[in-house]
């Protein structure tokens, strides 16, 4: 059977028909109870009353509107304002020697519209100028304004009352806050009475905002470096931090070193380094050694008892040294490739770094020159950041060595036997 579904009624409007309710099948759509058309009602007319124009305001004609739907059936038309049409002046108070008289005239369109004027004895009527300020009022004192008759030049004066409307405001300039001192926002006040219209508020001191620092002195083995920090707010505000000294790298020594005082058992040795191809010296960064005796090719060098020994024009042969520690213990540095200096007349070790400067994580090559494969055996490369921290170690050094580093300033050391090559690298 059919599934009954109601058809909702629709109300008729002024201009559109409606219909009654009905029933249809919700499945097949067949009309079971037909709806009946309800005709449109038509407009219900309501008159719009005429508004007469006056001297100063426009009016309009009558019109017609539907009171149900609001549709305008007959539009109104604007009637422009008439303007005044005054009659003749009529004297209502006669002028005398003691006082002026008064005349008036009436608008013919509206008797409520009346103009008056003063007349002097003898029939003169004043023709006053507009009021002009002769003394401005302020927030603290009254002012004055005057007008003058163009015929008889009589002058009238009236008072302008003092008022808060006449404040004379000036700007209170803002004061910028610094790292250590507070500032003020911009404000405003009356320069006459001091009234504050915009109060200045305190801006807290900024405090220091230091950058990441720039290394002004690189650390060395046994020597501290320095790092300078500058405030972003004020570059005259700086402070310096120490960078820890670099720690000497580990060296390998023969275990069967000769001991001068054979009754002492020793397990450590001094470090011999060279400088300028004519100086050999002991690295005493930890201040452990108090005296020295140098040997050349196994023979004692008379008078060579300083921390360093210099031979002109160039060091040649094998050098060793006996050092005395603070506790009196004596140690002889072994004559081995890792712990003695062997100098021959050959091209000096050298290196190049490229690209330099480099971009962050770009491959940078450290190329060694004048170094044989056998000399690189046991060589070591260390790279430090500008804070003095070790960031890269290469224990198997080759002729070409590639590194990839983040942005920063770096210093590096390559140790080949007892020789040391230093380099610097900037990564942006």
**Which of 37-51, 59-73, 212-226, 364-378 has the least mean pLDDT?**
212-226
**What pLDDT shows up at residue 274?**
73
Q: Which class for 320: exposed (0-12), middle (13-18), buried (19 or more C-beta within 10 A)? A: buried
Residues in the chain, overall count: 428
Confidence of residue 189 (pLDDT cuts 50, 70, 90): very high
Confidence of residue 424 (pLDDT cuts 50, 70, 90): very high
pLDDT tens for residues 146-169?
Answer: 999 887 788 889 998 888 888 888
Please answer whether residues 201 and 217 qualify as being in contact, where contact means their C-beta atoms are separated by less than 8 angstroms.
no
Using the predicted structure, report yes or no on whether residue 211 has a pLDDT greater than 80: yes
Rounded to a whole number, what is the largest CA-CA distance in the chain? Answer: 148
Please answer whether residues 254 and 336 qualify as being in contact, where contact means their C-beta atoms are separated by less than 8 angstroms.
yes
Residue whose token pair is 């040294």: 321
Residue whose token pair is 């009254």: 142
Using the predicted structure, report yes or no on whether residue 65 has a pLDDT greater than 70: yes
Distance CA(387)–CA(242), nearest Å, equals 9
Helix (H, G, I), strand (E, B) or coil at 111: coil
pLDDT tens for residues 126-144?
Answer: 788 999 999 998 888 888 9
**What pLDDT shows up at residue 224?**
86
Q: What is the mean pLDDT of residues 199-213?
A: 92
Selection from 252, 309, 311 nearest residue 282 by Cα:
309
Please answer whether residues 102 and 116 qualify as being in contact, where contact means their C-beta atoms are separated by less than 8 angstroms.
yes
Confidence of residue 201 (pLDDT cuts 50, 70, 90): very high
347 vs 76, residue with greater confidence: 76
**What pLDDT shows up at residue 140?**
85
Global confidence as pTM: 0.30
pLDDT tens for residues 338-388?
Answer: 233 443 334 578 889 998 889 999 999 999 988 888 889 889 999 999 888
Distance CA(230)–CA(235), nearest Å, equals 6
Alpha-carbon dihedral 402, 405, 408, 409, rounded to 10 degrees: -20
Q: Which CA distances in Å does 414 have to 34, 225, 351, 375?
A: 105, 19, 9, 12
Across 139-237, the runs of DSSP E, i.e. the strands, are 143-148, 155-160, 169-172, 183-184, 187-190, 196-198, 202-203, 214-217, 225-230
Q: Which CA distances in Å does 36 have to 2, 19, 163, 227?
A: 21, 5, 76, 98
Mean pLDDT of the chain: 83
254 vs 203, residue with greater confidence: 203
**What pLDDT shows up at residue 51?**
93
Token digits for 391?
């960031």
- Per 3-state DSSP, the chain is made up of helix, strand and coil in percentages (nearest 5) of 0, 45, 55
What sign for the dihedral angle of Cα 257, 259, 265, 271? negative
Please answer whether residues 410 and 425 qualify as being in contact, where contact means their C-beta atoms are separated by less than 8 angstroms.
yes
Please answer whether residues 283 and 222 qualify as being in contact, where contact means their C-beta atoms are separated by less than 8 angstroms.
yes
**What pLDDT shows up at residue 37?**
92
**What pLDDT shows up at residue 117?**
86
User: Can you name the residues that pair with 90 across neighbouring β-strands?
Assistant: 104
**What pLDDT shows up at residue 271?**
67
């Amino acid at each position: 059977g059919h599934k009954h579904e109601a058809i909702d009624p629709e109300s008729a409007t002024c201009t559109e028909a409606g219909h009654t309710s009905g029933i249809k099948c919700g499945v097949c759509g067949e009309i079971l109870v037909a709806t009946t058309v309800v005709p449109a009602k038509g407009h219900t007319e309501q008159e719009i009353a005429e508004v007469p124009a006056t001297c100063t305001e426009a009016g309009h004609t009558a019109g017609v509107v539907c009171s149900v739907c609001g549709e305008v059936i007959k539009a109104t038309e604007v009637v422009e304002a008439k303007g005044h049409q005054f009659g003749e002046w009529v004297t209502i108070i006669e002028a005398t020697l003691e006082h002026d008289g008064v005349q008036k005239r009436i608008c013919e369109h509206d008797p409520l519209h009346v103009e008056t004027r003063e007349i002097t004895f003898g029939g003169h009527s004043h023709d006053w100028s507009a009021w002009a300020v002769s003394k401005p009022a302020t927030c603290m004192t009254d002012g004055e304004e005057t007008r003058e008759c163009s015929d008889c030049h009589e002058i009238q004066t009236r008072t302008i009352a003092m008022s808060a409307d006449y404040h004379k405001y000036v700007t209170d300039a803002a004061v910028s806050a610094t790292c250590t001192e507070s500032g003020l926002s911009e404000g405003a006040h009356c320069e006459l009475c001091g009234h504050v219209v915009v109060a200045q508020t305190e801006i807290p001191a900024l405090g220091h905002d230091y950058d990441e620092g720039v290394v002004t002195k690189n650390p060395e083995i046994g020597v501290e470096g320095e790092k300078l920090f500058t405030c972003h707010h004020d570059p005259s505000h700086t402070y310096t931090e120490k960078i820890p000294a670099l720690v000497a790298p580990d060296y390998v020594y023969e275990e069967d070193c000769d001991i001068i005082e054979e009754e002492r058992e020793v397990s450590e040795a001094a470090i011999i380094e060279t400088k300028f191809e004519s100086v050999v010296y002991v690295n005493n960064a930890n201040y452990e050694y108090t005296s020295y005796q140098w040997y050349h090719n196994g023979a004692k060098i008379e008078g060579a008892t300083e921390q360093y020994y210099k031979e002109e024009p160039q060091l040649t042969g094998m050098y060793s040294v006996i050092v005395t520690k603070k506790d009196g213990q004596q140690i002889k540095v072994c004559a081995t490739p890792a712990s003695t200096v062997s100098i021959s007349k050959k091209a000096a070790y050298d290196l190049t770094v490229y690209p330099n400067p480099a971009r962050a994580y770009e491959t940078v090559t450290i190329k060694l020159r004048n170094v044989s494969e056998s000399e690189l055996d046991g060589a070591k490369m260390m790279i430090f950041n500008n804070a003095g921290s070790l960031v890269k170690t290469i224990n198997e050094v080759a002729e070409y060595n590639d590194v990839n580093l983040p942005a920063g300033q770096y210093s590096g050391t390559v140790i080949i036997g007892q020789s040391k090559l230093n380099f610097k690298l900037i990564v942006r």
